[in-house]
Amino acid sequence: MSAFASARHLLPGCAALALALGTAPASSAEPVDIELVLAVDVSLSMSPEELEIQRHGYAAALTHDLVLKAIAEGAYGKIAVTYVEWAGSNWQRVIVPWTAIANRADAERVVEQLNAHPPDSARRTSISGALEFG
């Protein structure tokens, strides 16, 4: 299976995990349409190529015109997003802390934060560790 096909199959699981995590945003006083946790598996079951595909896919999605349009059309016109990498039970790393996205400039700042931290891998895979981290 190609790296792209593998990533395509993993993204729905990552999205489900993202919805399940319940970490609090940095400022609950700022209303947003959604609080989105992007929880990304970086265990050694993921190849370096797959890690890059994941990272680039999220960056492309966050800055895509249709996504930005959907954000702008929300009741508050903004979302909050955080990007967390996880592997073993005690291996979680916040790459992007809670950040509001209301426009392209905000989304590009999130992408800059993603690009500032190259993907890392760790041993083991523990979804429960990621959930407990949140």
pLDDT in tens, 87-133: 765 667 889 999 999 999 999 999 999 999 876 655 555 454 444 55
Predicted local confidence at residue 18, as pLDDT: 44
Residue-level pLDDT at 44: 77
What per-residue string of b and e applies to 29-49 under the rule 16 or more CB within 10 Å gives b? eeebbebbbbbbbbbeebeee
Q: How confident is the model at residue 50 (pLDDT cuts 50, 70, 90)?
A: confident
